[in-house]
Every structure is written in structure tokens, then in C-alpha cells.
Amino acid sequence: MGVEVVVDGLSKSFGAQTIWRDVTLTLPPGEISVLLGPSGTGKSVFLKSLVGLLKPESGRVVINGVDICTCSERKLYEIRKLFGVLFQDGALFGSMNLYDNIAFPLREHTRKSEAEIRNVVLEKMEMVGLLGAEEKVPGEISGGMRKRAGLARALVLDPEIILFDEPDSGLDPVRTALLNQLIVDLNAQIDATFLIVTHDINTARTVPDNIGMLFSRNLVMFGPREVLLTSTEPVVEQFLNGRPQGPIGMSEEKDAAQAAAELAQLRGADLGVPQIMPQLEVTPGLPDRTAVGRRKDRVLRQLHTLAPAAQQEILKTLTPEELARCGFAGPATGVWPQRTEPVQVRGPGWPPAADVAEVPQRVRPSPRPRQPEPAPAEPPWHAGYRPEPAEQPRRRWFGRKRGEP
């Protein structure tokens, strides 16, 4: 299984330019997470900080109990071996054929014989669908093939964490969809922790288990996909819908008054109900993603801390048996799902105890909050949400309390 990556209070500047500050999130082991953000918000800087190529001024990145921001060079070298990185252009050596490109890390970092290297290289080339292209050089293959070759090279040292820097850049929509399927299939096969930086909304909507977003030098949100895909946080909503209206402008932030006027206008328009697209499933014949089960347990433990819309979407992914174990009935009389008894997400028996750490829900107020808006009956979760203790009465998002008329 992949390893957990804990990022705690991380801040990075270049001289007087703050890139981001106080970024806190946990990449759960074996899960796929996506990091979004407008251009220049420091996504690549974040990836480089995770592998120790850049040194943040403050905060920690803890992997296998080692804080890579403060550890020795020797420890850092060891931790780096856990990583595979797919760079934007594949970062292949133009003068080498694909076989030698993919064999390169094995020849550099291991003492394997050429026969062993051949087995590994061909295995990884098969995983990414490149068998037969060993003799080709990067200049004579398509961008999609170059990405897959870069991915095969990232896999040869059996990484436990894989970072993808805009894997879809420069690819057409079909090749992007094929690469996305490959990423999900790979995750099922190797169960490593994946972090993907992308601008592609379709990728963000269909591939990850978790989504984070950087904007205005802050991590705006990080959490389960259902949370961000149903979020009404203006920055997140604007980005995930690819709308010009909202706080994100051409050179990062818009004038506050302009953003507020645009959002007010939008509220009057009929935009329809945003639908959550189903997450990509593994290609039939391959093993299931074991991260899916772990994630379900983890997210159910957090369920009561999430926004109502996100809760609804998560409950829709449960089987009738899982719903019943959580105290919900399946589709019945129009309102779905219906609570039959108080949710026991932290109660005995369900979800089963797991050794998976919770993903902290660090949520910041928007730099350009939507305003003015009538006070909702329930405060929106993103505006200062604090998890309530499990024993307190729960909010009633799913209908009446048992016994009530």
C-alpha cells in the first residue's frame, strides 16, 4: 500500500513573493488526490516541495515518520526513493530510445542485472500499453505516448507515491480520457498514493478520491471529491465549472466589487443543478482498487462533519447493505436516502476500525466571499465550520427525526 503524506502548516516564498502559506492536508495512503488552482498559484512548487527539491520556510512534510523539510540529506535520499514523478513533458532523454529511457533509473539506482532490468522495463511498458515501442525515440512518438513512457519510467523503482504534473497538458480530450483510465487502472494495480496536478475539469471530476484547490496564496479546500464537487464556495465553484464569472480573474484575483456583481447576476440565472459525474472505475479484468474500501470507511467516519450536499452524494455511493448499517433506508418514498435511525458513523461496529488517518478538513474563508446573501438556516460548512462532538444531536439534513410527525 502507498504511504500517507502529511503536510502541516507549509509555507513557501521566493524572496518577497509568497507562493502559499500554512498549507495543511493529508494525502491518504493509496488514494488518488487532485490539486487544482489557477495558473501561477504554486502547484508545481508544491509538488517540488513534497519531494524535497524546494525547501519551504516553515511547516512539515512527514512521510514514514520523517519530516523531509528538516531531515538529513541521507534520509531525504532514502525518502525520495519512495517517489515516482511524471513530469509535464515526460522529461525523456531525446537521444535514448524508450527502452533505455525507462531502464535509466534502474541502471542508476539499483544493482540489477541487465536481464532483471529487461523484465522490469517490459513489465512497466506493458502496464502503460507501450510494449513493442522499445526502439522508438521520443521525437518519433506522439505526446500521449511520451507521457506513457514517462509514466513507465516513474514506475520502475516501484514507487509508493506518484506525483503527476499536469499529465493531460497538450493532450486531446480522447488521449486525456485514455490517460485518466490508465491512471485509475494503475492505482488499482499498485495501490500507491497518487497526487495529480491538473487544470482539466473533467479529470478533476472523474478521477480523484480527494480534491484540493490553491488560490490566492492559500489552500482554499482539501477533502473528499464529493465535498468540492458540491461546494458553493465561489472560488471552487467557479473553477470546477470553468466560468468567467467569479473571484478568479485573468491575473489571479478580480476586483472584489466586480466579482460580487458577477456572482449576484449569476444567482439570478438558471444554471441547473450541477451533477456529480461518477468516478472512473477500473477496467474490467483488473483488480479492484483497494483504496476504495479504505476511503469509504474513512469518509463515513467524517460524514457528520461534511456539508449536506456532500453527505447526500457520499450516501448515494453506498450499497443498500452499507446504507442499512449506517442507519439509512434505500430509495423508498421519494426522499432519498431516508434516515431510519440516528447515524452511528462513529458508533460501534460501523465503519470498521481502520488504521487510516483522517484527512483534516482545513477550510479557509474565501478571499472573495459570495455576498450579500441571506443568512441560511444552517451556516454553510465552509464559513467557519467546526466539527461537532459525536454525542451532540445531529443536524437533520435527511428529513424528520425518528418519531417526529
Residues that bind ligand ATP (CB under 6 A): 14, 19, 37, 39-45
Least distance from ligand ATP to the Cβ atom of residue 14, Å: 4
Residue whose C-alpha cell reads 530510445 in the numeric block = 97
Residue whose C-alpha cell reads 453506498 in the numeric block = 318
Least distance from ligand ATP to the Cβ atom of residue 220, Å: 13
Q: Are 163 and 5 in contact (CB under 8 A)?
A: no
Instruction: Give 20 or 99: the residue with its C-beta nearer to ligand ATP.
Output: 20
CA-derived radius of gyration, the chain: 22
Instruction: Give 50 or 303: the residue with its C-beta nearer to ligand ATP.
Output: 50
Least distance from ligand ATP to the Cβ atom of residue 217, Å: 10
Least distance from ligand ATP to the Cβ atom of residue 91, Å: 15
Measured distance CA(62)–CA(215) in Å, rounded: 23
Least distance from ligand ATP to the Cβ atom of residue 165, Å: 8
Least distance from ligand ATP to the Cβ atom of residue 197, Å: 7
Instruction: Give 4 or 200: the residue with its C-beta nearer to ligand ATP.
Output: 200
Instruction: Give 14 or 93: the residue with its C-beta nearer to ligand ATP.
Output: 14
Least distance from ligand ATP to the Cβ atom of residue 203, Å: 14
Least distance from ligand ATP to the Cβ atom of residue 200, Å: 11
C-alpha cell at 404: 417526529
Measured distance CA(127)–CA(97) in Å, rounded: 18
Instruction: Give 42 or 369: the residue with its C-beta nearer to ligand ATP.
Output: 42
Instruction: Give 44 or 97: the residue with its C-beta nearer to ligand ATP.
Output: 44
Q: Are 280 and 336 in contact (CB under 8 A)?
A: no
Instruction: Give 251 or 275: the residue with its C-beta nearer to ligand ATP.
Output: 251
Least distance from ligand ATP to the Cβ atom of residue 15, Å: 7
Instruction: Give 55 or 401: the residue with its C-beta nearer to ligand ATP.
Output: 55
Instruction: Give 87 or 194: the residue with its C-beta nearer to ligand ATP.
Output: 87
Contacts 24+ apart (CB under 8 A), 73-81: 76/52, 79/52, 80/51, 80/52, 81/109, 81/157
In terms of DSSP bridges, do strands 328-329 and 218-224 run parallel, antiparallel, or are they unpaired? Answer: unpaired
Measured distance CA(94)–CA(138) in Å, rounded: 6
Residue among 20, 1, 4 at smallest CA distance from 12: 20
Least distance from ligand ATP to the Cβ atom of residue 37, Å: 5
Q: Are 2 and 82 in contact (CB under 8 A)?
A: no
Instruction: Give 41 or 97: the residue with its C-beta nearer to ligand ATP.
Output: 41
Cα 70 off chain centre by? 26
